């Protein structure tokens, strides 16, 4: 499949000190998903032994948090194979074009995150609903949720940077040049949704499409990272509001 002419001219794709190749991306992706698969299987087996049961709330919380942290670490490790990593955050463009200023990128990120959250609201509830808050309440008491909101924001930022750095900064950018924009959006969105398949993969798929378009238009990961963070913090809330509102009409 040939790349789109505009994409080749405008995004010839990478800086002189950064080498991205499709074959290398495939190898890293294969290693990443294989590692996550075996880590998940090992974790479930080990935690079942520790808790001496097939299923408990504590076991589920521990598994969910553990797998979530692994899904944050995996893209970061994968991105280190494409050095220097800092070059992944911005996308060199043709001399006749330039990236929007930071304020416009921030506005695009906020709009993209809220749009994705609204579009994903009608989808089924995710497994994450209440898990992090339950863990926080056990550590600080039922009346101390607000103390952990900065922790949740920090966690959302780290997860957003990790996801966008690899799936948009590497996978999406390579596929735009190697194939075309449509293939890049579909493939990068499906891959990120598959990695987060244990919790609302369809919602992640919707966000992936929006994030890919943001990165393509702004040539910088700032908007995508901001949108991802906002999406993570509002996704469950918008879903809960939608489902409660629809229940009142039944």
φ/ψ region of 13 (left if φ > 0, alpha if ψ in -120 to 50, else beta) reads left
pLDDT of residue 92: 74
Radius of gyration of the chain (CA): 19
pLDDT of residue 113: 94
| Buried/exposed code over 62-98 (b: 16+ C-beta within 10 A; e: otherwise) | bbbebbbeebbebbeebbeebeebebbbebbeeeeee
* 200 neighbors 128 (Cβ within 8 angstroms): yes
pTM value surpassing 0.75: yes
pLDDT of residue 60: 61
Query: Within 10 Å of residue 106's Cβ, how many Cβ atoms?
Result: 15
User: What's the rounded Cα separation, in Å, for the pair 186 and 171?
Assistant: 11
pLDDT of residue 111: 96
> Phi, psi at residue 173, to the nearest 5°?
-65, -40
pLDDT of residue 167: 95
pLDDT of residue 148: 58
Query: Within 10 Å of residue 40's Cβ, how many Cβ atoms?
Result: 16
User: What's the rounded Cα separation, in Å, for the pair 163 and 228?
Assistant: 9
User: What's the rounded Cα separation, in Å, for the pair 169 and 90?
Assistant: 8
pLDDT of residue 15: 42
pLDDT of residue 107: 95
Which residue numbers in the chain have pLDDT < 70? 1-19, 44, 46-64, 93-98, 125-149, 151, 248-250
pLDDT of residue 179: 86
């Amino acid at each position: 499949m040939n790349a789109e002419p505009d994409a080749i001219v405008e995004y010839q794709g990478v800086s002189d000190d950064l080498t991205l190749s499709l074959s290398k991306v495939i190898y890293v992706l294969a290693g990443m998903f294989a590692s996550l698969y075996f880590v998940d299987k090992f974790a479930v087996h080990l935690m079942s032994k520790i808790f001496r049961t097939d299923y408990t709330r504590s076991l589920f919380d521990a598994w969910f948090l553990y797998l979530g942290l692994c899904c944050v670490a995996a893209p970061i490790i994968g991105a280190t194979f494409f050095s220097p990593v800092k070059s992944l955050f911005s996308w060199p463009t043709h001399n006749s074009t330039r990236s929007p200023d930071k304020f416009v990128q921030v506005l695009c990120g906020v709009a993209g995150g809220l749009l994705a959250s609204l579009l994903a609201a009608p989808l089924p509830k995710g497994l994450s609903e209440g898990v992090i808050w339950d863990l926080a309440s056990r550590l600080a008491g039922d009346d101390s949720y607000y103390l952990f909101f900065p922790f949740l924001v920090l966690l959302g930022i780290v997860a957003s940077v990790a996801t966008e750095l690899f799936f948009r900064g590497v996978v999406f950018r390579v596929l735009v040049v190697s194939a075309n924009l449509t293939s890049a959006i579909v493939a990068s969105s499906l891959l990120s949704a598959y990695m987060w398949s244990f919790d609302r993969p369809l919602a992640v798929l919707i966000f992936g499409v929006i994030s890919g378009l943001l990165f393509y238009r702004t040539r910088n990961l700032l908007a995508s990272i901001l949108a991802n963070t906002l999406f993570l913090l509002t996704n469950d809330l918008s879903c809960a509001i939608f489902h409660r509102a629809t229940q009142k009409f039944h």
